[in-house]
Every structure is written in structure tokens, then in C-alpha cells.
Structure 1
Amino acid sequence: MRLQDLKWPEVDGLSRDLPIVAPIAAVEQHGHHLPVFTDSMLLGEVVRRASEALGDRVVWAPLLWLGNSHHHMDFPGTLSAEPRTYLDLLGGLIENFLAHGFRRIVFLNGHGGNMVPSSQAIFEARQRHRERKDLLLLSATYWASGPQPPDLGPGFVQDHMEHACEWETSMILRLAPHLVGPTKDLPHVSGADGFAPAAHGWTTKDRSESGHIGDPRHASAEKGETLFRRFSTDVVAFLDKVIAWDGRSWSGNEGSA
């Protein structure tokens, strides 16, 4: 169910054991060929499909389109919260949900730049409420919610998400093909980092003049449907675990180590 569709007495009547899921995305450049709303569009479709499967077993908050996208600010059209402002925003959302009595709170992320702040917000909130044993605070990214690399079948060039790449371009071709510009002459831009696995401070312009990373030339709408099915299935399986949590243990399984 969608939080935005409910009246406050209906929210008040909900079981506080229902997970509340806040989708978080971005508005940012996606190269020469994809719209700036790409991350929000893709996450919105994953949420739509997952919500159909889960029905009233999950409460979905409205999608938050403003993300941590400062690494893309060299490209016009990018909108970004200051990193520390974004961290405070996510922390405040957690406190809102807790104030209304919810105990299972999940950020479902659709943008790479949100991974660190959403994880940090969850970690800090747990420290603020360390005396409570009834809280489940989680941050997950939709394309990394299942086994990695995902089993996508033959035909895919990439085995992981990059930026305005084969995967994202395929999904937008499936969702809104009229918004996709030409890809035939776009170069492959490697996402490899010679300093990995060290954390490497970067801006997108350090890595790509065009703004994309990966190889969008191999995208297709058929691949996009495969990706949407895989990712929405993974999200449903993940949220099933949240629903089944026993309300107290670390792993959700009574008697686990």
C-alpha cells in the first residue's frame, strides 16, 4: 500500500510490524542519451512491480527524487542535496517513521551515490536508539538485493550496474523508449579503477567526458524487461525476509548465533 493514499486515521490503524519502505533515487545527468530522471524512473518501476507482488504487506513511502549527486554537478540538469544535508534528511525520515511507531524501516535505493549516506543514516539511527531491541533498520539497493552477479542469462555484456550503461539504457528502452537518444556512436567508457579496492574520491568528469560509464550500445528493450523482472523479484524476496523477521533477533531466525 502507498502511504500517500492513506488518511491519517488509516495510518494510525496500521500494524507497526508492517515494514515501511522509503524509495530513494536522484535527478542527475545520464550521458548524452538518457533523461536526468533515469534513476527515479527505474526505481519507480521496480517499486511498482514489487508492490503488486507484496500487496498490503508493505507500506511504501513516496519516492524521494532528491539524492546525493554532487559528483555529477559538472553536468547541467543535475540536482543534488549537499552530502551532509542529505545524510541529515535521511536521518530525519527515520526519526519520523519511528515517531509514528514503525519498527521495520527500509531505504530502497536506486542511485549509486546514495549508497554510502543511506547506510550511514541507518547506522547512526541505530546508535541513537541502541537501547531498543525491536528495531530493524536497513538500506538496500535494488540492483544489489539478490545474488551477485545476478543471473541474467545470455546476451549481456555487463555483469554489474554502471552509469547510463547497458543496463540502465535497456530499462529506459523498455519503460520510455521515446526518451532515449542515439547510442550507436557512443564509446565504451570503462568503470575500472586501478586503485581498487581502495575508496577513491572522484567526480564523474574524472572518469567520463560524456557522462556515461559502461557500454550503452548493447542495450535493448528485451534486456530491459529481463532486468526489471530480475530486480523486482530480488526486491520482493528481500522484503519477504523483512516481513518474516521475528522482531528481535539479529538474523531473524530464533536461536541463530
Structure 2
Amino acid sequence: MKGPRLPYRYDHYTWVELKEKVEDQPAVILPVGSTEDHGYHMPLDVDTFLVSSVCEGAAKLIPDEVLILPALPYGFEDHHMDFPGTITVRDDHLQDFVVDITRSVAHHGFRKILIVNGHGSNATILETASRRTVIETDAHCGTLNWWSVAQSKLWEIGDSELQSHADEIETSVYRYLNDDAIQMDKAVREVKIPVSKYYWRGWIRGKGASPLRMMDQWSRISDSGVIGDATVATVEKGEELYRAASEELAGLIQEFRALPIEPRVDRH
């Protein structure tokens, strides 16, 4: 730890303090990211840095209602392994590891656990992990992608027709949070994927996500790692998106925390 202890950081408490914190029943947040390519212009930590930052932004708005666990910086990345530096974890290992964490949190008495995802290909794995947590513990556990709470703002301020990866959105938010780490002179627009009636990669303005779900090897659909237009990213767009995502996530956490946990009933 560097600097002062933060009231919303799970790992900043002593074990005695954390035991007392259970009485308040804050929502416990697990950010999950990845270590993978994000174009010529962005570092490998994009997914982890963005999801961690949005979770912290939300926590600052409701510091007494949330505890953030240390982020997981690795995810399911097999489709990105043609790009040097990418680290992948097998899907079953990732799921079991996440469930081990959530089971530990529930074991200590916390009843509201939220997994916040920063890497698209983690999503189905984390959803299953959250369901297992509900089945295997007495806790409520949900999951979401951080950008899902800012969808309306994304299309309101974005200039690109397609948003997918290392694009206008991710680049803008990273620029707002740490512009010095971005090499905008190397940013590119790359959209070499086909867009058909039922399949495309990412989100298209007015159409949303593709009805057909299929993940190709990334090196087949992108030369740079980018799908979208990183060249139109700005600090100003990033600030709007970050603030919107943080505020909406804070509201979601409050609503999730207030949901009652009804007793199970064996109806045999």
C-alpha cells in the first residue's frame, strides 16, 4: 500500500476491522480485467486499468457502501495469443479461481458480491461463476461489464459507427485517466471485419450487438489489435464516459445492495 488507507478498499483493513465491517453489509466488488494487445497506441493493461478505475470512481461516490477487492489482471485470451505479450488463463481455471474468491468473501459473512468485468471474453465465464456463488453460498452474486452501464452515453458522444476493441471508447477513457501512457501518434482506424445481416464484431450504432455470437482468432480480423477508430478518441469524451460509468455503477451497487435475499424453499 502507498498513501493513506482508503475506506472502500477491502485490502486496506485489518482482519479485526474487516470482521466489524461485515455488520454494515457493504457490497464487495471484484474487478476482473486482462493483459492483452490494445493496438499500437495503448499498453497491455487497458482492461484491468479501466475496470479498476471505474470501480474506484463509483466507490468514491458511495464509500461506506462498498469494498473493492484487488483486481484480477488476467482473463480468457486464447483468441489474442497471436499478439506478443498476451497472457491467457483457461476458462475453467478462471471460473474456479473467481469462485474461490467469492466463496471466501461469503464465508466471512458478506452477502452482496458483484463481479465487474473489463474484458468481453470473460463475460460468460464470470456469469457462470456468479451463478455458482449463489448456488454454493448464502450470498447474492451478480456480474456486469463496466461499459454496459454507460451505453447511452457511449452512443451520445461517440463519433464511430462501430465500437469494439482499443477503439474510440477505450482510448478516450484511458486518455482521461492517464493520457501520458497513450501514444496517439500511433492510433489507427481499423475495421476489416465483415458486417452482415446477422453477424458483426462489437456494437454498431442503432443495431447494438450481433445476434450471432462467434469469436474468431483476433489476428484474422485485426492487424493492429484495434477494431474501431482510435484516432477520434479525446480526453473530453473519456471524462464524460468515465463519469457516466462511475455514477451509473454507483447507482447499480446501491440497488443491488438493497435487494432482499429471500430464504430458499425446498418444494419437494
Per-residue CA shift, 1:181-225, capped at 9, x if unaligned? 235772331566533422214221121121111111111011110
Per-residue CA shift, 1:124-174, capped at 9, x if unaligned? 233335xx5xx311011111035xx31357552247752100001111211
Please tell me whether residue 64 in structure 1 is matched to residue 72 in structure 2. Answer: yes
Q: Return the alpha-carbon distance in structure 2 between the equivalents of residues 191 and 5 of structure 1.
A: 45
Residue 226 (structure 1) aligns with: 240
Q: Return the alpha-carbon distance in structure 2 between the equivalents of residues 104 and 158 of structure 1.
A: 37
Per-residue CA shift, 1:98-136, capped at 9, x if unaligned? 21121111101111121111001112233335xx5xx31
Residue 14 (structure 1) aligns with: 21
Please tell me whether residue 37 in structure 1 is matched to residue 45 in structure 2. Answer: yes
Q: Return the alpha-carbon distance in structure 2 between the equivalents of residues 164 and 223 of structure 1.
A: 15
Residue 189 (structure 2) aligns with: 187
Q: 1:15 to 1:89 in 2, by over 3 A?
A: same
Unaligned runs of 5+ residues in structure 1 are 251-257
Residue 115 (structure 2) aligns with: 107
Residues 25 and 65 in structure 1, CA contact (< 8 A), matched pair in contact too: yes
Q: Return the alpha-carbon distance in structure 1 between the equivalents of residues 43 and 85 of structure 2.
A: 9
Q: 1:108 to 1:160 in 2, by over 3 A?
A: farther
1:211 pairs with 195, 201, 225, which one?
Answer: 225
Residue 145 (structure 2) aligns with: 141
Structure 1 runs (4+) greater than 6 angstroms displaced: none
Q: CA RMSD in A?
A: 2.3
Residues 190 and 214 in structure 1, CA contact (< 8 A), matched pair in contact too: no
2:169 pairs with 159, 167, 170, which one?
Answer: 167
Residue 3 (structure 1) aligns with: 10
Please tell me whether residue 119 in structure 1 is matched to residue 121 in structure 2. Answer: no
Q: Return the alpha-carbon distance in structure 2 between the equivalents of residues 187 and 19 of structure 1.
A: 39
Paired AA for residue 143 in structure 1: W
> Equivalent residue of 2:37, what SS?
coil
Per-residue CA shift, 1:48-86, capped at 9, x if unaligned? 211110112111111111222222111111112112111
Residues 123 and 145 in structure 2, CA contact (< 8 A), matched pair in contact too: yes
2:262 pairs with 234, 241, 248, which one?
Answer: 248
> Equivalent residue of 1:55, what SS?
coil
Paired AA for residue 259 in structure 2: W
Q: Return the alpha-carbon distance in structure 2 between the equivalents of residues 226 and 165 of structure 1.
A: 16
Q: Return the alpha-carbon distance in structure 1 between the equivalents of residues 72 and 243 of structure 2.
A: 22
Residue 78 (structure 1) aligns with: 86
Shifted more, 118-127 versus 46-55: the winner is 118-127
- 1:33 Cα offset (Å): 0.8
Residues 35 and 47 in structure 2, CA contact (< 8 A), matched pair in contact too: yes
Unaligned runs of 5+ residues in structure 2 are 1-7, 200-209
Paired AA for residue 237 in structure 2: K
> Equivalent residue of 2:73, what SS?
coil
Q: Return the alpha-carbon distance in structure 1 between the equivalents of residues 88 and 237 of structure 2.
A: 30
- 1:243 Cα offset (Å): 2.1
Residue 98 (structure 1) aligns with: 106
- 1:177 Cα offset (Å): 1.6
Structure richer in strand, relative to its length = 2
Shifted more, 231-240 versus 8-17: the winner is 8-17
- % of aligned pairs identical? 27
Residue 5 (structure 2) aligns with: none
Q: Return the alpha-carbon distance in structure 1 between the equivalents of residues 155 and 47 of structure 2.
A: 24
